[in-house]
Structure formats: C-alpha cells, structure tokens
Homo-oligomer: A and B are copies of this chain.
Amino acid sequence: MNSILITGCNRGLGLGLVRSFLKHPSSPRHIIATCRNIQQAEELNSLAQEHANLHILQIDLKDIDKYEDFARQVESIVQDNGLNVLFNNAGISPKSTRLGFVKSDDLVETFVTNTVAPIMLTKALVPQLKKAAEFNASAPIGPQRACIINMSSILGSIEANSDGGLYAYRTSKSALNAATKSMSIDLKPNNIMAVVLHPGWVRTDMGGSKAPLSVEQSCTKIVQTVMTLSEQHNGSFLQYDGRQLQW
C-alpha cells in the first residue's frame, strides 16, 4: 500500500489507526491524517515530527463544499500513484436516547457527519482511488490497489439490535452500511472495493471506560484486517478481527 487517508485523527480510533499504520512493517509511504483543528491535535503533531510519511490535513468534514479543494491537496501528496485506501473513520455519537427523547436535529446532524460526509468525501476522492487502481493494475483487488473502508458499528446492524434506542447513531450507521454496499457495486468496474468495519467495543470517548478493548488492541487488529482485504470481502460488514457481521 502506497497511501492511505484516514479522517478524524486527533484522538480515539483515528489516532490509534495512524499509530498502528506507522508501526506496521509495511507502513504506507503516505499516511494522510485529517483533523478539524491542527493546533489542538498535539499527539498527531508529535507523531508527524517523528514520521516523515505522516501528513496532516485540516478539514472540518461538515464543510462538504471544501471537498474538491481537499481532494486537490490529497492529489498533491499522492501524485500519479493515486490513493490506495480511503478510511472514513470520523464520526459522532449523540447521547443514548429512547424514542421519547429523540430529537430531529440530532438525527439529521448525526446523519450528516456519519453518513453524508463519508459518501461525499468518497465521491470527491474517487478520481484518486481510480488512479491508484489503474497504477497498480497488476496487484490483486484490495488495499494494494484501491479500497474504501467506512467505519461503521455493530450498533448499525439491524439484525444484532436487541437493546433498541440510539435512533440517531443506529440510523446513521445502518445508512452508511447501505451506502457502502452501493459503493462496492458501483465501483467494482473500476477495481475499487468497499467495506464497512466495526471496531469492537473500544475504550474511547465514545465507547466509555468499561469497554473491553484498548484503542491499540482494536487498531492493531483493524490494520491486520485491512491489510488482508481481498475481492471476496467487497461489500461486506466486518469487525476489527475480520469476522463477518450481519446487516
């Protein structure tokens, strides 16, 4: 893999993914990490000072009209090799709410960040992904060629929902799953694959302190899973350790 772009890297799983990709024996030549506020991303900045292959790009993913400009910045880094992997990691989770407390603004805001942004960023970066798929025409379908990974959650699995509630988060992630399935079909002729990933229950701001997995444990497994993605996984819903989940 020559290049990977990961969104939402100032903390949590995004930062953990950057660390894990930096540590990997075949670390990508370009790791592009996005964050909303570069000044506040202290750990990410420290990492970038130690690792010349880590590029930090600033973007607030709600500014969808800036995606085209952002895509040009990405192009100036990856150049003719294109972008091998787009990892749409950034997301939000409003507080758990039962039906009686659900707010329409929460539903829309969460959908925009967790569903619309990954779809529109993918659309903006498809030219870079296509370039990578063509540039690596002799490589098998997968992250050595071109791949979209959308960070979903088991909470977006309708089949696995046994606790109810969480309307904003669940709807946004089920919707992202649906969009990813369409991407996996629409981009197949371009040799670009797409999957959704569930990171496990991780000790992040979102997962809370009682979660069984550390960020490092989850991200190490995710990187292993990403590195072994192949054509057979296209359009599937995998958890961090590669196990397949139901929609």
Contacts and interface: CB of A to CB of B under 8 A. Distances in A.
Interface string A93-134: 000001110101001100110011001101100100000000
Given A104-B64, A115-B107, A123-B100, A182 B167 contact: yes
Given A171-B175, A178-B156, A185-B164, A122 B104 contact: no
Interface of A: 64, 98-100, 102, 104, 107-108, 111-112, 115-116, 119-120, 122-123, 126, 156-159, 161-167, 170-179, 181-187, 246-247
A119 B100 contact: no
Nearest to A169: B178
Dominant SS among interface residues on chain A: helix
B111 A123 contact: no
A201 B177 CA distance: 23
B158 A170 contact: no
A107 B108 CA distance: 10
Contacts of A112: 104, 108
Contacts of A164: 181-186
9 contacts: A99-B126, A107-B115, A111-B115, A115-B171, A156-B178, A158-B174, A162-B185, A171-B175, A175-B175
